[in-house]
Chains A and B, each alone.
Chain A
Amino acid sequence: MLRDITIGQYYPADSVLHRLDPRVKLIGTIVYIISLFVFHTWGYILGTVFLVSIILLSRVPFTFMVRGLKAIVILLIITMALNIFLTPGTYLFQWKFFHISREGVVIAVRMAIRLIYLIIGCSVMTLTTTPNKLTDGLEALGQPLKAVHVPVHEIAMMMSIALRFIPILLEETDKIMKAQTARGADFESGGMVQKVKAMVPLLVPLFVSAFRRAGDLAMAMEARCYHGGEGRTQMKPLRYESRDFIAYGVLAGYLAAAIILRAVFHW
């Protein structure tokens, strides 16, 4: 199931969306999420049009976006069922104690649309932005939080280091697992308790190794004069281009349209 989550997976391609500044994409994602909660009824047509045009612009195959949905299918079904069956109102259908209300169906459909669009929207962002740029963008946007003593730079640094070490640790897990298998360890058979017990020979070395790597890396970073975000310059600072301003304009227009649709037309 882990593999199905598209979030955090980059799809290399050459598109306008790929070239956009990560800050624009992050803000864009937030704007889109807000719009999904502003829309009430027919407004979702606008939301759909926007999403489809973004997907077309991104040049990422549609199947990649949908992959992210697999992870939430069960959640989606359960919440839809609860809404359909438990919302009171005008009943469309009744059998023993089961009943389906008109209101329930409306709420369920709206919620499903919101959830699906939200996931796809986020996927578009992560599919078109490299993890590094994403952390850069988060760091830049998080600057105001520094005022309330949130260690923005440190969090961003931790995220990018985590991204670098995930493949290394995965490989290491595989190696340790093989090594213990070679000593007769059995990770597959047995009941729950046995399976958990069998993980000890895997997890202990993995933790030891992660700590050793962390220690080594901390020392290597210190040796290269790392001392937090203070007085640090950037090799690849984020710079807005004209296309980024255009994108901001489009986003502002979209958000305004969404609010007008809701406030004036009650869509």
Chain B
Amino acid sequence: MSIIHAEKLGYDYVQYDEDEGKEPEIVHAVRDVDLKVERGQFIAILGHNGSGKSTLAKHINALLVPTEGTIYIDHMDTRDDDSLWKIRQEAGMVFQNPDNQIVASVVEEDVGFGPENLGVPTDEIWRRVDDSLAKTGMIAYRKHSPNKLSGGQKQRVAIAGVMAMKPKCIVLDEPTAMLDPNGRKEVIKAVRDLNQSEHVTVILITHYMEEVTDADRIFVMDAGELVMEGTPVEIFSQVEKLRKLRLDVPQVTELAYELKNSGVDLPDGILTTDELVHNLCEKEHPIADSRKLEDSLQEDTAKESENQAQPQQEDKTAESGEPGTMALEGKTAGNEEPLNMPREGKTAETGGQESLRLEHVSYVYSTGTAYEITALKDVSLEIPKGQFVGIIGHTGSGKSTLVQHFNGLIRPTSGHVYFNGRDIWEEGYPLRELRFHVGLVFQYPEYQLFETDVIKDVCFGPKNQGLSEEEQMERAREALRQVGIPEGLYEKSPFELSGGQKRRVAIAGVLAMNPDILVLDEPTAGLDPRGREEILSELDQLQKERGITVILVSHSMEDVAQHVDRIIAMNKGEVAFDGTPRQVFSHYKELETMGLAAPQMTYIMHALREHGLHVDVNASTLDEARRAVLQALKEKTA
């Protein structure tokens, strides 16, 4: 008996173009979707931004009614007005933005909102509220204001609010997109628990492949159509196809896929580290094609010598440190290279010229009141020209406060900030000028777009710099080109663009000021996998083309490991680690105590080593990991 049953479901809407004379366009947001979900299943829907998955989700809750075909929720047709409230009660919905779905100013009252609407008697509302809060682990926060909760907690409140309506099925529309890694884990765990203990059918829409590896079934959408359907293994075996659909596969799967292509004997669709370890360490002959392996290793060495020989040197030092002994040595680890050394020779070329320096910077919020919070504590650091720096830290570790010191938006409570050797808080320092040199892109920068068309918006910065109109346009065009916005969009309203495009226009708005340093706070938050990768590689490009310093604040260890030269890890307002990605991630155990983690590759490497495969445990990117495994396999068989 299916709880959700869609037949030839289609949803069209008419888009009116602002330009006169154009025919209104019919957009097929969803078309021809046949879908069956059984009671108690854990279903995942994947698809890039704009693939129609949110539109589909809204049909399950009868927020949208199909223009073609039919969808039945527990045998009720969503077109039938009489069953509308029954459908919405049975199929609850959790949305992306945690702030915009909480109605009440007290947690427990918000959870009670649904039952109130259903006309549940007061005593029963209280029972349900208690029960739902307990199931989502939020009972301790019942009297709190939602504004004081973290993103993950807010989403759990939203889930509790849905649970209090006693639904048979919960639809979660990208519930983790706006959360940090810990918040994501929290929410996914809550959802999984509900699925297992309460047998609630779960439909999870997400961009994070790791969250869906143990789903019962996965549906993949593209351009409004259901293009793939199957178990996680079936879906994730098709790496190439998923990539074409602008999607990812879990990191383990990707590594296994790459290894297989290099001649290692592995099955398709490996989803967990355990499976990979099992297949690599316990087989007699893990190498299927030793020629291929040899070739790909040689290819790597060729590429490497083209670049530089330095990484290998590092390998040796890293090798000498056993994973277990590193745990508590902290910053004073004796076998480390001096921290602060950039990974590659880039800074050496520019002579290690200093551009930004912080000396003993501390910052205290609301000084002198009961709410005093020390956001930064005695931070000293130097960022030389041309570096690609990653700043990591869990929410509330002070990283956002830190970057606002870089361009003088915040004045430190004590300590000094120097830009090119001058104290930016000394009398008469042109602070406004500084902001043109140190460009800061805030989180969700698309929310600050305001002009009538794209190019005008990008011109805002240059205009404030007092440039001539031609210069403004030239700067704007150059910036837009670099972030990959096609010329056809220049005259459009920024509000008409897709999420990813808006984001890039906003970044271009800062880039057009020609900053020496570009600081980005979570530039990839909320984007789909391909969108994330596009922005990051554009940053890579920028850093190389323009030779500017890029400072990237990020929650994603994978992104940071892949792109930056140097990582600054923040914890409780202090700099906990500062060094190359390999150095910093070698302290993965300490990072964990700070609510951070190493990239998944690092964990895979450690697991392999524990099971006897002698790999370089400090490999943190896909490429490094692949090379490390191949090397180890070769040594093992030799």
Query: Are these two chains actual partners, yes or no?
Result: yes
| Shortest distance from the beta carbon of A160 to any chain B beta carbon, whole Å | 7
| Shortest distance from the beta carbon of A56 to any chain B beta carbon, whole Å | 25
Contact B99–A225 (Cβ < 8 Å): no
B482, CB-defined interface residue at 8 Å: no
Of chain B, the residue at the smallest CB distance from A207 is: B450
Contact A179–B442 (Cβ < 8 Å): yes
Q: Which of A113-134 contact B (CB under 8 A)?
A: 131-132
Contact B440–A182 (Cβ < 8 Å): yes
> Which listed residue (B101, B109, B409) contacts A217, Cβ 8 A?
B101
Cα–Cα distance between A189 and B534 once the two chains are bound (Å): 39
> Which listed residue (A161, A223, A234) contacts B61, Cβ 8 A?
A223
Contact B105–A132 (Cβ < 8 Å): yes
Cα–Cα distance between A132 and B440 once the two chains are bound (Å): 39
A164, CB-defined interface residue at 8 Å: yes
> Which listed residue (B92, B112, B442) contacts A182, Cβ 8 A?
B442
Contact B116–A227 (Cβ < 8 Å): no
Cα–Cα distance between A231 and B116 once the two chains are bound (Å): 9
Contact B102–A164 (Cβ < 8 Å): yes
Interface of A is mostly: helix
| Most-contacted residue by chain B among A182, A225, A236 (CB, 10 A) | A182
Contact B439–A182 (Cβ < 8 Å): yes
Interface of B is mostly: helix
Contact B435–A225 (Cβ < 8 Å): no
Contact A182–B407 (Cβ < 8 Å): yes
B114, CB-defined interface residue at 8 Å: yes
Cα–Cα distance between A205 and B113 once the two chains are bound (Å): 30
Q: Which of B135-167 contact A (CB under 8 A)?
A: 146-147, 161-162, 165
| B426-467 contact mask (Cβ, 8 Å, vs A): 1 or 0 | 000000100110011010010111100000000011001100
Contact B464–A186 (Cβ < 8 Å): yes
Q: Which of B55-114 contact A (CB under 8 A)?
A: 61, 63, 85, 88-89, 92-93, 95, 97, 99-106, 108-109, 112-114
Contact A216–B97 (Cβ < 8 Å): yes
Of chain B, the residue at the smallest CB distance from A201 is: B450
B529, CB-defined interface residue at 8 Å: no
B117, CB-defined interface residue at 8 Å: yes
Contact B101–A163 (Cβ < 8 Å): no
> Which listed residue (A183, A219, A234) contacts B122, Cβ 8 A?
A234
Of chain B, the residue at the smallest CB distance from A181 is: B409
- List of B residues within 8 angstroms of A185 by Cβ: 460, 464
Cα–Cα distance between A14 and B116 once the two chains are bound (Å): 28
| Other A-B pairs, 18, CB within 8 Å; known A213-B97, A220-B101, A234-B116 | A132-B104, A182-B409, A184-B513, A186-B432, A200-B450, A209-B447, A220-B93, A222-B63, A222-B88, A223-B88, A224-B103, A225-B85, A225-B165, A232-B119, A233-B116, A233-B120, A234-B122, A236-B109
Residues of A in contact with B (beta carbons under 8 Å apart): 131-132, 160-161, 163-164, 167-168, 172, 175-176, 178-186, 200-201, 204-205, 208-209, 212-213, 216-217, 219-227, 231-237
Residues of B in contact with A (beta carbons under 8 Å apart): 61, 63, 85, 88-89, 92-93, 95, 97, 99-106, 108-109, 112-122, 125-126, 129, 146-147, 161-162, 165, 404, 407, 409, 432, 435-436, 439-440, 442, 445, 447-450, 460-461, 464-465, 495, 509-510, 513
